[in-house]
Amino acid sequence: MMNPVDGTGFSRESTAEVVTKLRCRNIWKIYGQRPDKALATALGGSEPPLTLKRRLEETGHFLALADVSFDVQQGEIFVVMGLSGSGKSTLVRCLSRLVEPTSGEVWLGGENLLAASERRMVEVRRKVMGMVFQNFGLLPHLDVLDNVAFPLRMQGMPPADRTAKARDMIELVGLRGRENSMPLELSGGQQQRVGIARSLAVDPELWFLDEPFSALDPLIRRQMQDEFLRLQQLLQKTIVFITHDIQEAFRLADRIAIMREGRIIQIGRPADILLTPVDAYVASFTEEVSLAKVVTAGSVMAKLPGNWDASRGHEVDAATPIEMLLPRSLAGTQTFVITREGEGPVGLLTSEIIAKVLANDTAQRVVR
Amino acid sequence: MSILAALPVRVDNPAPYFRRQTVWFGILIFVSFCLAQRTAWPWLLTYPKAWILPAAPAVNGIFDWLVPLLTPPCAVISSMLGAALDACGFALRWMPWPATLAFFAVLGWRAQSWRLALFTAVALGYIVLAGYWQQGMNTLSMVTLAVPLAVTLGFLLGVGAHTSRHVRSVTLVALDLLQTVPAFAFLIPLLLLFGFGPIAGLVACVAYAIPPMVHCTMLGLARVPVSLLEVGGMAGCTRWQRFWHVVLPTARQQILTGVNQTTMASFSMVIMAAIIGGFNDVGWEVLDAMRKADFGHSLLSGLVIAVLAMVVDRITRGFAQPRHGSARQTRHDAVRVAAFLAVPVVGGALLHVAPASMARIDTLQGVVDPNALNTFVLDLVRAFSAPLDSLKVFVLYHFMLPLRIGLAAAVTPFTWGFAWTPQVSAFYAATTLVLAAWLTVNGRWGAGIVVLLGAALLLFGFNGFPWPAFIAVTAGLAWSVGGGRLAVPVTIGTSFVVTAGLYEPLGQSLYLCVLAVLICTFSGGLIGIAAAKSDRFSALLRPCCDTLQTMPQFIFLIPALMFFQVGELTGLIAIALYAIVPPIRYVEYGIKSVPADLVETSRQIGCTAWQRLIHVEFPVAKPEIVLGVNQTIMAALSMLPVAALVGTKDLGQQVYIGLSKADAGLGLVAGLSIAIVAMISDRIMRATVSRAGNSLD
């Protein structure tokens, strides 16, 4: 089993320098009358997760998060995925301490946020964090402009400055002209654009999105995902993105953490999770996702032989999903040369490997 | 009464089936034993004077000690409130009536529309024409003073209760008491502290008007979605910023609803406070006219109360409506409204410069002649006196007497046309037993027991029902629906009423209430069903219900008194008029909220409309219907002391006697008894609902 903290070792498909932005260690959250005592019980024994959960429930405690640890890298989209009740929303709230964790550490740079004072947390939330909520969370008594400017107003920014900043954000999310609409006059997609603009108004380093598109229609959801990717291309935030939608997770993620019953059971790049699921649960989760769409050429390529003659084969970028290579492969291309921007050829991909990936995909489905 | 609904009902698991059967069998034997011994042991019927616990003297003792202590601070409060009241009254009376009328019309226009402005103008115009302008303004000045006080105190209490668990638990108990103890009862201690006069009335007003504000504030704050609190947190709000910028604006709607309800409550209380006020206001006019049996005047002044209540209600409710507009627009609006409102004020001041025009305007006051109305009403009553009398006699003999003194005493050749002979008795007993046995055999032993007990009650009446049997039956009922946790307080409560020596008035109260509730549930239920089935009827009905609910309780006495003179029937009718709205509302709501797919399913299966009503809609709507009945009981109980004004002999009358003698002990104990009855029936009803809910799960 792989190390749950850093998955396969975070290696994006570029070799840009990796900086860890947010480090979470051993976060526990237990609801109930005496969470501390319950935590001591949990830490004392070494029983399997399910029995522990049931045992805590007997004493009237609910185990929401159990020993959650992970790192988020600078500029990364880190998706936390799980069914409802798996603890993913609690997790993101523990990061900003909207929910107070029972124990654990959240390191932002050299500072453990869980040890910070409430005053300091207000400061951190004002300056460093932005969050988008599932049900938009727009204040019904404020118009679009005032909603977006709200966090700035709380910081005490003068009206002229915050209005200007809010107008920029509204422009950014493509809502120009709706500044003076009231939230209820907007469609769901537009409301969430306001939510996004508001969360970005303070120019946060950390951007939390808690199921931001779950309340939207599928078509709008797709549009918003594209919009989100566009924004991220532009802004390069460090993102924790919560979702229960596997398609969405695989579409957006640099890395995915899969949660179940308050625990992270696997962390990895989308392709890793598809190709090497840690257990049947994760496998069953991913069966809806087509491997060919998610697996990129770079993630399954073979090593470049030492005696490689640079003139042979079709060159393909490492980030290309293998689905895109299928037509050429079927038409007879045997070998693709995988390249990375700025690095030149880095590996080889043969039709054989592509066939194996696809076979694996169908095999999974046939077994079920 | 809505506070009661907010309280958690603690219910043990209902008692097991077989144990319940045994206990009820025991209760039946006990009741029959008591009934059999009632002639041999007369103390079973009349609670012996020697056994009365000195609750009332104890209360009086406390007050004897407390009043001198509290008099100095009360005198300070009293002089402050008095000065404010004088100033307020002076300002309102000083304004020439056209100016005030225009002022309120503008308010109405801003609150809702020009239609409300027109309504306001017409309504206030009526007050001028009827000649009650001065009195109306005096009443209004009380309300203008009481409402801000009650709103502020209620809001602070609500916020406190929302933030601190300790404040909450205390507040909830206090609210429960304030809402169930009849208003008359807490006039008495205020009377002792502040003396006869408008100040005691004002304080009573504030006290009576606080609960809805507290309740709405708490509800509004509790209903702020968690997600919005989180938005506040993520925006980096401090606690205070979050409260001010996120919580309050979100709860604004509900809080404004609280302001509306508080205003109506204080309005209703102002009218009642007239009983101890003797102050030149509308309530006093109504009371005075009623005492003189001057129907013309009582009708005119009663209408003044009614229209004032409607105007005040519509305007405050209009302002509580959700507004679509940003903060900027709202601020802009406020400036405009202030400008509009200044116009009539300035105009009024200008009128004072020209006394001649003032005098001419004032000649319009009181042009409606109550004497003509009086003759008209008297003629009307005379014209219908024969049918009205026969109706009165019919209801009295066939419904009221049997319930009060029992069939055995009420059925005579004079009243029912035959005598209650042993044969009739035997036939009655046999029918009852057969019915009960049939129900038991069919597996509905509970219904069988209800039949047996009901038959016994009907045979001997509330007056002839032994008190130990009464305590046993209520305790059994509480135990069956809510287990020991409910049964113990209920038993303590009933025992308190009995040992305070109030069993007889309790019986009188129960008989009036039961009848009123039966009438209301039946007729209100029918109206509610009709409203649920016809949207047009529902639309027609809604303003009527709204109006009935905004009326101060006092008003209901007038029509009843006009047609049926002083007596229990008049009290009954007034109670029923006041308490009929809840069943209408709840039945309509319950039936309308039956899920559409259930209705569709039943139609698909081939139910007739009638079958659907009986087998689908009633069972599904049962929780709402029971809650409606519960509200009816609460309303009926709270009306008892008011009905006492027309000569009933119940607990309300005891409160009224306590009030007129300034006997705090008697008044408070009787008031508390009404509150106890209200709480007991409320808890039992709600336990029934929650049990029904559980069995559905």
CA distance A343 to B158: 67
Tell me whether residues B325 and A129 touch, CB distance under 8 A. Answer: no
Burial class of residue B605 (count of CB atoms within 10 Å of its CB; 0-12, 13-18, 19+): exposed
The dihedral over CA atoms of B669, B674, B677, B683, expressed in degrees to the nearest 10, equals -110
∠ CA A126-A131-A133 to the nearest 5 degrees?
A: 140
CA distance B683 to B668: 22
Contact B374, B298 (CB under 8 A): no
Tell me whether residues A96 and B233 touch, CB distance under 8 A. Answer: yes
Tell me whether residues A142 and B327 touch, CB distance under 8 A. Answer: yes
If one compares A318 and B587, the residue with the highest pLDDT of the two is B587
Q: Which helix (H) or strand (E) holds B695?
A: helix B664-696
3-state helix, strand, coil in chain A (%, to 5): 40, 25, 35
CA distance B2 to chain A (A): 27
Picking from B225, B236, B325, the nearest residue to A125 by CB comes out as B236
Contact A263, A28 (CB under 8 A): no
State both tokens at A332.
């007879």
Tell me whether residues B250 and A139 touch, CB distance under 8 A. Answer: yes
CA neighbor of A265 nearest in space, from A257, A273, A253, A275: A257
Name the 3-class secondary structure at A81.
strand
What would the DSSP string read from start to end of A345-361?
EEEEEEHHHHHHHHHHH
**What is residue B15's predicted lDDT score, i.e. its pLDDT?**
55
Name the 3-class secondary structure at A170.
helix
Picking from A126, A127, A182, the nearest residue to B326 by CB comes out as A182
For A101, A133, A189, A327, B575, the CA distances from B232, given in Å and listed in that order, are 19, 12, 21, 52, 49
Tell me whether residues A142 and B225 touch, CB distance under 8 A. Answer: no
Residue A4 binned pLDDT confidence (cut-offs 50, 70, 90) = very low
A chain contacts of residue B233, beta-carbon cutoff 8 Å: 96, 98, 125
State both tokens at A362.
């169908």
* Number of helical (H) and strand (E) elements in chain A, helices listed first: 15, 14
**Number of Cβ atoms within 10 Å of the Cβ of A202:** 23
**What is residue A16's predicted lDDT score, i.e. its pLDDT?**
52
CA distance B232 to chain A (A): 8
Contact A121, A108 (CB under 8 A): no
B chain contacts of residue A186, beta-carbon cutoff 8 Å: none
∠ CA B34-B410-B468 to the nearest 5 degrees?
A: 20
Task: Please tell me the least confidently modeled range out of A185-194, A231-240, A304-313.
Answer: A304-313
B chain contacts of residue A92, beta-carbon cutoff 8 Å: none
Task: Please tell me the least confidently modeled range out of A338-347, B105-114, B229-238, B577-586.
Answer: A338-347
CA distance B242 to chain A (A): 9
CA distance A133 to A96: 13
Instruction: Judge whether A128 is closer than 8 Å to chain B, CB to CB.
Output: no
Q: Which chain A residue's Cα is nearest to B232? A: A151
CA distance B243 to chain A (A): 12
Tell me whether residues A127 and B236 touch, CB distance under 8 A. Answer: yes
Q: Average pLDDT of B299-326?
A: 79
Place of tokens 């205390």: B170
Q: Which chain A residue's Cα is nearest to B238? A: A122
* Chain A with chain B: Cβ pairs closer than 8 A: 73
CA distance A326 to chain B (A): 46
If one compares B453 and B1, the residue with the highest pLDDT of the two is B453
Instruction: Judge whether A140 is closer than 8 Å to chain B, CB to CB.
Output: yes
Q: Which chain B residue's Cα is nearest to A138? A: B228
Tell me whether residues B252 and A180 touch, CB distance under 8 A. Answer: no
**What is residue A70's predicted lDDT score, i.e. its pLDDT?**
93
B chain contacts of residue A202, beta-carbon cutoff 8 Å: 236
Q: Which helix (H) or strand (E) holds B185?
A: helix B183-194
Picking from B225, B235, B325, the nearest residue to A154 by CB comes out as B235
CA distance B117 to B105: 4
CA neighbor of B195 nearest in space, from B35, B74, B52: B74
CA distance A225 to A77: 12
Picking from A137, A146, A154, the nearest residue to B230 by CB comes out as A137
Name the 3-class secondary structure at A64.
strand
State both tokens at A58.
């007997």
Is the pLDDT at A91 greater than 90, yes or no?
yes
Interface list for A 173-232 with B (CB within 8 A): 180, 182, 184-185, 198-199, 202, 208
List the domains of chain B with CATH numbers: 75-320+335-378 (1.10.3720.10), 499-697 (1.10.3720.10)
What count of residues does chain A have? 368
Instruction: Judge whether A32 is closer than 8 Å to chain B, CB to CB.
Output: no
**What is residue B186's predicted lDDT score, i.e. its pLDDT?**
75
Residue A363 binned pLDDT confidence (cut-offs 50, 70, 90) = low
Q: What is the ipTM of this complex?
A: 0.74
CA distance B268 to B149: 16
**What is residue A5's predicted lDDT score, i.e. its pLDDT?**
42
Name the 3-class secondary structure at A317.
strand
Give residue-wise pLDDT tens across range B390-428: 888 888 888 888 888 888 777 888 777 788 888 888 888
What is the share, in percent, of chain B residues with pLDDT greater than 90?
7
User: Running DSSP on this structure, what letter comes out for residue B545?
Assistant: H
Give residue-wise pLDDT tens across range B473-502: 999 888 888 888 888 989 999 999 888 888
Give residue-wise pLDDT tens across range B39-86: 888 887 778 887 788 888 888 888 888 888 888 888 888 888 888 888
If one compares B442 and B366, the residue with the highest pLDDT of the two is B442
Is the pLDDT at B18 greater than 80, yes or no?
no
B chain contacts of residue A198, beta-carbon cutoff 8 Å: 235
Tell me whether residues A133 and B238 touch, CB distance under 8 A. Answer: no
Residue B630 binned pLDDT confidence (cut-offs 50, 70, 90) = confident
CA distance A185 to chain B (A): 10
B chain contacts of residue A151, beta-carbon cutoff 8 Å: 234-236
For A5, A169, A249, A276, the CA distances from A268, given in Å and listed in that order, are 9, 33, 12, 10
Tell me whether residues B238 and A141 touch, CB distance under 8 A. Answer: no
| First-residue to last-residue Cα distance in chain A | 23
Q: Which helix (H) or strand (E) holds B113?
A: none
Q: Give the HSE-up count for residue B559: Cα atoms under 13 Å, Cβ half-sphere.
A: 11
CA distance A99 to A124: 15
pTM: 0.77
Residue B638 binned pLDDT confidence (cut-offs 50, 70, 90) = confident
In a mutational test of the B interface, the residue from A90, A93, A122 whose CB has the highest number of chain B CBs within 10 Å is A122
CA distance A161 to chain B (A): 17
∠ CA A18-A19-A22 to the nearest 5 degrees?
A: 130
CA distance B425 to B423: 5
Is the pLDDT at B156 greater than 70, yes or no?
yes
CA distance A119 to chain B (A): 8
Contact B553, B272 (CB under 8 A): yes
**Number of Cβ atoms within 10 Å of the Cβ of A228:** 23
A chain contacts of residue B234, beta-carbon cutoff 8 Å: 96, 98, 125, 129-131, 151, 199, 208
A337 φ, ψ (degrees, to nearest 5): -100, 125
If one compares A177 and B409, the residue with the highest pLDDT of the two is A177
Picking from B225, B227, B249, the nearest residue to A141 by CB comes out as B249
Contact B209, B289 (CB under 8 A): no
Q: Average pLDDT of A320-326?
A: 83
Tell me whether residues B225 and A135 touch, CB distance under 8 A. Answer: yes
Instruction: Judge whether A165 is closer than 8 Å to chain B, CB to CB.
Output: no
Instruction: Judge whether A131 is closer than 8 Å to chain B, CB to CB.
Output: yes
For B162, B171, B186, B242, the CA distances from B157, given in Å and listed in that order, are 8, 8, 20, 19
Report chain B's mean pLDDT, rounded to a whole number.
Answer: 83
Is the pLDDT at A141 greater than 50, yes or no?
yes
In a mutational test of the B interface, the residue from A136, A139, A152, A155 whose CB has the highest number of chain B CBs within 10 Å is A139
CA neighbor of B557 nearest in space, from B423, B648, B455, B679: B648
Contact B587, B600 (CB under 8 A): no
In a mutational test of the B interface, the residue from A92, A141, A194, A208 whose CB has the highest number of chain B CBs within 10 Å is A141
CA distance A233 to chain B (A): 24
CA distance A194 to chain B (A): 13
Give residue-wise pLDDT tens across range A242-301: 999 888 888 888 899 999 888 899 999 887 888 788 888 888 877 777 777 777 787 777
**What is residue B149's predicted lDDT score, i.e. its pLDDT?**
92
Picking from B231, B252, B324, the nearest residue to A133 by CB comes out as B231
Give residue-wise pLDDT tens across range B220-235: 898 888 888 888 888 8
CA distance B84 to chain A (A): 35
* Strands A20-31 and A129-132, bridge-based pairing: unpaired
State both tokens at B250.
């979100």
Contact B668, B185 (CB under 8 A): yes
Picking from A133, A151, A182, the nearest residue to B227 by CB comes out as A133
State both tokens at B115.
């239609």
Q: Which residues pair with A107 in a beta bridge?
A: A23, A112
CA distance B264 to B147: 9
CA distance B113 to chain A (A): 22
List the domains of chain A with CATH numbers: 73-96+116-291 (3.40.50.300), 293-367 (3.90.1280.20)
